[in-house]
A = this chain, B = another copy of it.
Amino acid sequence: MPKISEKGVFMPASPIRKLTPYADQAKKEGKKVYHLNIGQPDIATPDVMLDAIKNIDFNVWAYTASEGTLAYRLKLTEYYNKLGYNITPEDILVTLGGSEAITIAMQTCVNEGDEIIIPEPFYANYNGFACMSNVVVKPILSHIENGFALPPIEEFEKLITPKTKAIIICNPNNPTGYLYAKEELDELKALCLEHDLFLFSDEAYREFCYDGREFISPMHLEGLDEHVVVLDTVSKRYSACGARLGCMITKNKEVIKSSLKFAQARLSPGMVEQIAGAAAVDTPDSYFEEVNKEYTLRRDTLVSRLNAIDGVFCPNPGGAFYVVAKFPIDDADLFCQWILEKFELNGETVMMAPATGFYSTPGQGKNEVRMAYVLNTDDLNKAMDCLTAALEQYPGRKI
């Protein structure tokens, strides 16, 4: 029997999805499971987007240009320029999800064996994409005590070697919800200019900023045109995770030209998705206002319920729809499995993502858990009732 590859062995499993068999088993046993593990919002996709799908009027479901249709890239340009990005359609590569934007950016910009610095905890799949591209992730620890703010820039300096090629930030952050301030981005800018590094800016959660705070992108910073590569997706913005439609944006002509070769190899992004994505740009502002009001309410509910539990600490995040909280437990992986397998409150339980999978340094995040507040406040409250009771009963409780 032929053997699978070493990469096939070492490729990390998804920390968000690895407990799925336990959740499935719990459901089989009749338990209701509140899913706080995955960033799949329950928010409705905008009507303009769904209507665009229903109203397709082609006969041949054909390939599009590898870089995406001009029609879609023009609409995207309109969207980004409203944000002040000052781009043209030629600066955009349309991708099959934000995931593909990340892989193409890594393959285009970073040599094998070279290094990317990422503040941890970070979006777990960066590890998988780095593994696929033989890129070395150099984590830099951020801390729950200050809400996972950008680590001091001297800590970055210490990690920089001749192999360092890029820094990835996710802003607002998945998994921490931290929203980077202008000062933090300015520090990163100086660092990237000094050491000639790419700055990958994962902006999947751009629309989700709370308490009147403003989103700032490295695209807003002057003098960084050759360094910034934006990684984006329609998944969260329009609650359209199943569209698999993202894009990569950069004003660096060498990067966009080379990335097109990777895009040509896989031929084309989805045609229907690009039609829907173009329509989505006309989503009314009221949609985002309502959604942000709803998420603010959910965040406030979740954070206050969490901090009311004895021994739990959860910072109040400025954006996205995740929190990372510290629990009085021995091991988040064991706890998240136990609550599915051994616990129930009135026939209900909760699925969460152990934070260990979001750290690349072994041993970090062992008493931390990521939760996505993608459920309505009633369900969130019931999930917190479960969690409160579970933390009292958990045999691995630690004070």
Does A61 lie within 8 Å of B240, measured CB to CB?
yes
Which residues of B sit under 8 angstroms from A252, Cβ to Cβ? Answer: 1-2
Please report the C-alpha to C-alpha distance between residue A99 and residue B96 in the assembled complex, in whole angstroms.
Answer: 12
CB distance from A49 to the nearest CB of B (A): 7
Stretch at the interface among A7-15, A308-316, A377-385: A7-15
Which residues of B sit under 8 angstroms from A269, Cβ to Cβ? Answer: 244
Please report the C-alpha to C-alpha distance between residue A58 and residue B51 in the assembled complex, in whole angstroms.
Answer: 11
A342 within 8 A of B: no
Does A108 lie within 8 Å of B59, measured CB to CB?
no
Please report the C-alpha to C-alpha distance between residue A100 and residue B103 in the assembled complex, in whole angstroms.
Answer: 12
A393 within 8 A of B: no
Which residues of B sit under 8 angstroms from A7, Cβ to Cβ? Answer: 107-108, 111-112
Stretch at the interface among A152-160, A257-265, A348-356: A257-265
Which residues of B sit under 8 angstroms from A255, Cβ to Cβ? Answer: 4, 8
Please report the C-alpha to C-alpha distance between residue A54 and residue B272 in the assembled complex, in whole angstroms.
Answer: 11
A2 touches which of B55, B134, B197, B271 (Cβ 8 Å): B197
CB distance from A85 to the nearest CB of B (A): 19
A8 touches which of B5, B45, B258 (Cβ 8 Å): B258
A221 within 8 A of B: no
CB distance from A21 to the nearest CB of B (A): 12
A28 within 8 A of B: no
A62 touches which of B40, B110, B264, B272 (Cβ 8 Å): B40
Does B261 lie within 8 Å of A244, measured CB to CB?
no
Does A62 lie within 8 Å of B261, measured CB to CB?
no
A364 within 8 A of B: no
Does A268 lie within 8 Å of B254, measured CB to CB?
no
CB distance from A137 to the nearest CB of B (A): 13
Q: Contact string, A272-304, partner B, CB cutoff 8 A, digits 1/0?
A: 110000000000000000000000000000000
Does B241 lie within 8 Å of A62, measured CB to CB?
yes
Given known contacts A61-B50, A96-B244, A262-B132, A107 and B1 CB-to-CB distance under 8 angstroms: no
| Chain B, Cβ-Cβ closest to A124 | B265
A319 within 8 A of B: no
| Chain B, Cβ-Cβ closest to A227 | B2
Which residues of B sit under 8 angstroms from A41, Cβ to Cβ? Answer: 60
| Chain B, Cβ-Cβ closest to A5 | B111
A6 within 8 A of B: yes
CB distance from A61 to the nearest CB of B (A): 4
A-B pairs with beta carbons under 8 Å apart, 12 shown? A2-B252, A4-B108, A13-B261, A14-B66, A49-B61, A54-B55, A62-B241, A96-B100, A129-B265, A241-B268, A244-B244, A270-B273
Going nearest first, the 4 A-B pairs with the smallest beta carbon separation are A242-B271, A128-B265, A8-B258, A99-B266
**Apart from A11-B258, A11-B261, A54-B54: 7 A-B pairs, beta carbons within 8 A:** A8-B259, A11-B107, A14-B265, A38-B63, A50-B59, A61-B239, A63-B241
